[in-house]
Structure 1
Amino acid sequence: MIRASAHRLFSNQLAINSLKRCYALGVTAETEPDVIPSDWHSAKPYESIPGPTPWPIVGNAWRFIGGVDFLKIMKQMHNKYGDVVIMRQLLALGDMTMLFNIRDIEWLLRNEGAWPIRDGLASSYRYRHVLRKDVFGDTYGLINGQNESWGTFRTAVNPIMMQPRTTHQYIPQINEIGDEFIELVTKLKSKDANNETPDNFADELNKWAFESITAIALDTRLGVLAEKPSAKAEKAVQYITESFGLIFQLDFMPAGKLHMKFNTSVWKKFVRNQDYFTDMCLELIEQAQQRINNNPNYTLKQEHEKSVFERLVAKDKKVAMVMTLDMMGAGVDTTAKAVAATLYFLAKSQKSQEALRSELKRLLPNKNSPITKQVLDDAKYLRAAIKEALRLAPIGIGNMRKMTKPMVLGGYQIPEGTLISMPNLYLSKVIDKHFSNPQEYIPERWLREVKTENVNAFVSLPFGFGARSCIGKRMASMEIEVIVAKMVRNFVLEWHHKDMFFKQGLIYGVADPLKIKLIDLPS
């Protein structure tokens, strides 16, 4: 029997907070909390939902202490208690009700309100709206905004961020950055006796992702991938890399609030990093404004011809500031981990890799052929390969909602205020109800002309769902497609190590060194 002292439990509060973050917690608003469903009185009461008995003081939180295997816990709960399970007393989370029936999940998500609410980051909130309120004011953005303020901000940036032609505008730039990354990778693997990528290859992917998102969000190139990057670029990479670890300490470790309260070295370093990127944004916003003012032909540009940054600045400087920083914060480690997972699965599956390469050779006759909108439109197997990788290794292992109106789910009364978890990774990878051979990497299952499985779209949701789905999903998908295509078109990828360990940290992703053997293709 597992035993844990109260002291050990609170020292491992990280596990609980990690669970909360990995599910991308959301609360739906603008619903009708007073409306009782017609089948409410015939449903079983909420109190009768089965689940494990909580221990005194520590509740069920001990289940998430230490090296937690979320998939194993979910499988145990599902097998023992059924499609609706309650885990009471999870400390920071309180009581959590888990849904394992995809029809219940689809019903819940299709009945969200207009303004879903997701937990923000306490560190970001304190920095922006306490320390730098003079800059940010009451513009909370997509990370920290809630209710109407969030809805107003999302409405303002949606037309800029979500239009397909806005994404297409950046394909040439991302293609150029991809070529630079291929040059870097060629040099890195040549230094290894086995032509493998280095132990820190995940860091190199972070550099690529950072250079890509800066080109989109800041309308500039920092030269992070250069052989000898500038001091400014090196500092930017250092600070963005540090930021992931600092956010982890401040927002997910038990002592996070103490760091902020007592102004520790951890908090001071976080403030220094945020000051750097805030000041960088302010400088670039002024430059963009000057370009607009000094360019007599600017007004002749069609709206879709303007950069994302220019359009944001023209709308509102604070909106531009907050959206830019949100993009940089959310668009590096997430995109890099998605690429890492895709490259790993392709290296493990030579059959899938050859099928993809066959498609790419048709679309890209030469290794250095530029990737265009038409190439990406026609690259069906490429999209399937990435989608399958994100089914097996999504950035977040599921979704969460807090009920803002009563519903009947799985035959039970689910009151307003109930915290609901939907374990999408478990549903798509562990059980074979939704996918045949669910743990195998089979991109063909996503090809319309050959797939035989009738998959419910709500089983795998790598970019979330609804109004609060990832606003950068089109940009992120394009970035991932470009760099995966270039890697497979330039190299044969091989994996000669034990199976990769995927770990839930700030986000879900590869945890072992990503040492992929790369063999140059002749043309």
Structure 2
Amino acid sequence: MFSDRPRVIFNSVSYCVQKCNISQKSFHEIPTPKGDWPLVGHAHLFGPNGPYNAERLSEAVLDLSKKLGAVFKLRLSGTDIIVTVDADDTRTLFRHEGRLPHRPPFPALLHYRQHKFGSIGIVPGNGEDWYKFRAAILPLLRKQIFQAYIDQQKKVAETFVDYIQTNLKENSEGIFTKSLNFVAISVTSPGERFSCLSTSSSKTETKDVMNASIDFMDGLYETLVGLPLWRLYRTQGYQKLETSHQVIHRIVGGRLQDFNARYKQQPEQISMLHPFLTSLFDNPTLEWKDVVMLGMEVFLGGIDATATTLAMTFHYLATNPEIQEQAYREATCDKSPLEMSFMRACIKETLRLSPTAGANSRFLANDANIGGYLIPAGVKSKTCPGEKTKYEVRYVFSIQSLNKITSQCHFLKMFILILYIYIYLIFQTLVSAFSSVSSLNEKYFTEPMKYCPQRWLRESSIAKGHAFASLPFGYGPRMCPGRRLAEQEMVLLLKQVLNKYQLESANSTTEPVGMVYRMNRIPDRPINIYFRERVAQLKESSIRAQQ
């Protein structure tokens, strides 16, 4: 293991430079909107009677940045949130996130997994527990691992094109990119394709797990926003999270168990076809409950955001015929996914204009200069395995002690909960870098509202922009581990679709498609596309695809 001494030296030098910088402003000088109410802070600004819509948070941040500057402060539920739309600040944020980057947890999911399974996974985890899971999933970023799935992903793409053809003949609707990704990610985890792209499929298990994956994202979102009333009783959102998690855990866990049995019988053959899963099976640091949890997270992580990106890429290609034609010419060439530079650029440009993630947020491990302001560390760094941070001690207090103290009095429980939010979390400082805003800034990109994949090509004369202005997959240790696999899947699908169909927009309006917040950002309207067969452009049959 590498020594942490260079990191310590860097942090010490950085700290001294910051302290000696006489132009640096204090934390309390950071601009903040008017209306910091007791307990709720600025939350009312995003309420029913407020000037902003929480579903369009990126637009709200853009407006506030125009009024207050590139860096400003919000207070939500007792937490100071430092918001920045400056790419240089984003770079600073990642350089001060520490060895164990600490981001806001999903408290309801963390609570449920700790009590039900004793294994938390990557998504809600922080600290040493997160690091163990992260190390186990890193093989997904290795070239020899994600490229091992090319043939299986090709078959999924071919199945999707066949499905389009079937619906063309039937003149029906219902091509869902989410169904495609549901099938595509299942070849990676749990290792066996689900068959929801087949019109004759009636497997109860497939339908159950697909519906559960949708309910899971909804439940996760509902328990994340607003007051954490799920701590007092099982709210509708918490019940949805709990029930859907049980369904997915049962089905994915069962398939992983069957797959592991096959691996023991045919280790060489299975390891060649499914190197990622077998790396989990052979990992000595993981218990079986950890393997199932990671398998679940890979499966869930490969559906929602990838489906949205594909749908939006279809939309941008359909509304930009010249760009679609250039992508089609590349699709006709015999190239590997990594060699299809233009289609990869199309995906990258889609994620610049319509990223599925709004911001990257961190509790800083040490003090940092963000936009000329000294931002105090938001969480104490761990030095020893098993040592709890201040944040985790407070969190453990809230989820373990609260029910014991107030088991007979719901009013007292509510009072302590509010007091906890106001007093304990008030000392937490979160920094959120909104790349969904900086990626549309003309300061970083020429003609930022124009769909221009050429800007990402090496030979292009168009400036590519600031390296930290568009980060759809994140950056650093907490970057999306399935990035390469998802990019490969999308390129293979675009190749198959463009080879056979010309895309035309079926939307009734020419207004740009916006993005709204759910668990991930999604289009604010259905994405309607006509798939017209390329065979001499003689066939007039079409199908409207809806996301």
Q: Common fold, TM-score beyond 0.5? A: yes
SS across alignment from 1:355: helix
Contact 2:94 / 2:475 at 8 angstroms: preserved in 1?
Answer: yes
Select 1:46's aligned residue among 20, 24, 27. 27
Q: 5+ residue gaps in structure 1?
A: 1-28, 364-373
SS across alignment from 1:362: coil
Q: Which residue number in structure 2 is paired with residue 421 of structure 1?
A: 432
SS across alignment from 1:318: helix
Within 1, Cα distance between the matches of 2:447 and 2:18? 37
Within 2, Cα distance between the matches of 1:99 and 1:116? 18
Q: Does 1:407 align with 2:368?
A: yes
Select 1:73's aligned residue among 60, 66, 74. 60
Structure 1 residues 113, 491: CA separation in 2 closer, same or farther (over 3 Å shift)? same
Q: Which residue number in structure 2 is paired with residue 10 of structure 1?
A: none
Name the TM-score, length of structure 2 as normaliser: 0.79
Select 2:260's aligned residue among 264, 282, 289. 289
**Residues 455-490 of structure 1, C-alpha deviations (whole Å, 9 max, x = no match):** 221010000000001111111111111122222222
Within 1, Cα distance between the matches of 2:358 and 2:257? 40
Deviation at 1:190, TM superposition (A): 4.5
Structure 1 residues 164, 439: CA separation in 2 closer, same or farther (over 3 Å shift)? same
Contact 1:118 / 1:146 at 8 angstroms: preserved in 2?
Answer: yes
**Residues 172-212 of structure 1, C-alpha deviations (whole Å, 9 max, x = no match):** 111111111112222334554xxxx84x64xx211111111
Select 1:442's aligned residue among 431, 452, 459. 452
Q: Which residue number in structure 2 is paired with residue 123 of structure 1?
A: 108
Select 2:191's aligned residue among 219, 228, 236. 219
Contact 2:153 / 2:184 at 8 angstroms: preserved in 1?
Answer: yes
Alignment of 1:71-470 (within 5 A): 71-87=58-74, 89-91=75-77, 94-130=79-115, 132-133=116-117, 137=118, 139-158=119-138, 160-192=139-171, 198=173, 201=175, 204-229=176-201, 230-252=203-225, 254=227, 257-258=229-230, 261-263=232-234, 267-295=238-266, 298=267, 306-315=274-283, 316=286, 317-363=288-334, 374-417=335-378, 418-429=429-440, 431-470=441-480
SS across alignment from 2:351: helix
SS across alignment from 2:223: helix
SS across alignment from 2:17: coil
Within 1, Cα distance between the matches of 2:269 and 2:99? 33
Structure 1 residues 492, 293: CA separation in 2 closer, same or farther (over 3 Å shift)? closer
Q: Which residue number in structure 2 is paired with residue 494 of structure 1?
A: 504
The amino acid of 2:300's aligned partner reads: G
Within 2, Cα distance between the matches of 1:261 and 1:86? 30
Contact 1:104 / 1:410 at 8 angstroms: preserved in 2?
Answer: yes
The amino acid of 1:403's aligned partner reads: L
Query: What's the % identity of the aligned pairs?
Result: 22
The amino acid of 1:235's aligned partner reads: D
Alignment of 1:470-481 (within 5 A): 470-481=480-491
The amino acid of 1:445's aligned partner reads: R
The amino acid of 2:355's aligned partner reads: P
Q: Does 1:509 align with 2:522?
A: yes
Deviation at 1:322, TM superposition (A): 1.2
**Residues 49-81 of structure 1, C-alpha deviations (whole Å, 9 max, x = no match):** 223223444532232224344344333332233
Within 2, Cα distance between the matches of 1:106 and 1:459? 9
Structure 1 residues 375, 150: CA separation in 2 closer, same or farther (over 3 Å shift)? same
The amino acid of 1:388's aligned partner reads: E
Contact 2:146 / 2:485 at 8 angstroms: preserved in 1?
Answer: yes
Contact 2:92 / 2:368 at 8 angstroms: preserved in 1?
Answer: no
Deviation at 1:357, TM superposition (A): 0.6
Contact 1:40 / 1:408 at 8 angstroms: preserved in 2?
Answer: no
Within 2, Cα distance between the matches of 1:33 and 1:271? 45
Contact 2:149 / 2:274 at 8 angstroms: preserved in 1?
Answer: no
Q: Which residue number in structure 1 is paired with residue 542 of structure 2?
A: none
Q: Does 1:61 align with 2:60?
A: no
Deviation at 1:276, TM superposition (A): 2.4
